[in-house]
Amino acid sequence: MTSFSTPKPLSHPASDSFSLSATDRFRHAARRFLSSPGPYLGLTGIVSLLLFWYLTTELFALPRFSKLPGPVAVWTEFTSRNPTYGTSLFSPEYYKHILWSSWRVAQAFFWATILGVPLGLLMGWQRKIRDYVFPVVELLRPIPVLAWVPLAILMIPGREAPIIFLAFLAAFFATTLNTFLGVESIDESYFRAARCLGSKPRDVFLRVVFPGSMPYIFTGMQIGVGVAWFSLVAAEMVSGEHGLGFLIWDSYVLSQYPVVVIAMVTLGVVGYLYSAIIRLVGRMLMRWTVRTGG
């Protein structure tokens, strides 16, 4: 009997970093990040924006800009323990609005994922289901979410549910279509290999279709949560009594302009956090894509 020569595990260029501890790896990544021009250029961009804002509104007070709140005014209001318009880091109202909006997006996103991912998977998996569903999705998808406002209010009882529905709708289309594209992106040879190895249709679905479309599913979820925020704010402006979208509109009507900007920036930060969390979860679930490539 021939004895097998034992092939050494690959000396992959990245394999050294596997043995490093998490903190070492983080420290290494941080050092590399700080020694590249990227962060400094980014910082310059942000500073330029703030400077432009300051110059146009506060220093020169240009014609159309003079009514806008400048960065100093916004910052003063935001950090004040006793804010002029009642909204700052120290007012419970501010956090209530954030929580209201976050909770609505979370619900919309939850339903969009629960319904959109399976629908997208089924569409990609079974030609018949795709033939039924795809034209409907493609017809409804281009309709801007704001155009749904009247129907949402007519169809759905209560005050809260129509708002969540609008945010859900946008996220749902993004999630469904991306999941569907994810299944389409799976190379035919994986399906063939699965059938060769004795898979039943259920195995193909759970072990090939689902994991194979994961990268697209997470892309879809990130886009989905983004458009959910987008539509939520629009919906809150139209019909709401809480939330950041409502806060923006209400402050505008009451001419409390610094609050408008505070709410806008808050939306940016919270929206970023949402997609960062999804990205993080995606990376944890798909270690195979992170380590791939080399």
The stretch near another protein (CB under 8 A) out of 3-11, 32-40, 174-182, 244-252 is 3-11
The stretch near another protein (CB under 8 A) out of 1-9, 53-61, 111-119, 149-157 is 1-9
The helix-helix angle for 22-34 and 38-54 (nearest 10°) equals 60
Which residues 209-228 are close enough to bind another protein by CB under 8 A?
A: 211-212, 214
Question: Dihedral through CA 27, CA 29, CA 32, CA 36, nearest 10?
Answer: -130
- Please name the residue ranges forming H helices in 35-141: 38-54, 71-78, 92-125, 127-140
Question: Which residue number, 178 or 266, has a Cβ lying nearer to another protein?
Answer: 178
Question: Which residue number, 134 or 205, has a Cβ lying nearer to another protein?
Answer: 205
Which residues have CB under 8 Å from 152's CB, separation 6+? 162, 165, 166, 235
Give buried/exposed letters for 130-166 (b at 16+ CB in 10 A, else e).
beebeeebeeeeeeebeebbeebbeeeeeebebbbbb
Question: Which residue number, 53 or 218, has a Cβ lying nearer to another protein?
Answer: 218
Contact 243, 97 (CB under 8 A): yes
Contact 91, 98 (CB under 8 A): no
Name the minimum Å distance from CB 176 to another protein: 21
Q: In the stretch 7-36, what mask flags binding to another protein with x, by CB under 8 A?
A: xxxx-x-xx---------------------
* Candidate list 129, 203, 275, 279; residue touching another protein; CB under 8 A: 203
Question: Which residue number, 141 or 207, has a Cβ lying nearer to another protein?
Answer: 207
Tell me phi and psi for residue 255, to 5 degrees. Answer: 60, 30
Question: Which residue number, 23 or 189, has a Cβ lying nearer to another protein?
Answer: 189
The stretch near another protein (CB under 8 A) out of 48-56, 90-98, 191-199, 273-281 is 191-199
Task: Please give the span between the terminal C-alpha atoms of the chain, in angstroms, as a whole number.
Answer: 36
Contact 168, 108 (CB under 8 A): yes
Structure tokens at 266: 């808050």
* Candidate list 5, 19, 35, 82; residue touching another protein; CB under 8 A: 5
Question: Which residue number, 36 or 289, has a Cβ lying nearer to another protein?
Answer: 289
Does position 207 bind another protein by CB under 8 A? yes
Does position 190 bind another protein by CB under 8 A? yes
Grouping H, G, I as helix, E, B as strand and the rest as coil, residue 261 is helix
Name the minimum Å distance from CB 283 to another protein: 14
Structure tokens at 241: 């009594």
The stretch near another protein (CB under 8 A) out of 112-120, 138-146, 170-178, 189-197 is 189-197
Which residues have CB under 8 Å from 77's CB, separation 6+? 69, 83, 84, 85, 87, 88, 258, 259, 262
* Candidate list 193, 277, 280, 281; residue touching another protein; CB under 8 A: 193
Name the minimum Å distance from CB 126 to another protein: 18
Write out the residues near another protein by the rule CB under 8 A: 1-10, 12, 14-15, 187, 189-190, 192-200, 203, 207-208, 211-212, 214, 286-289, 291-294
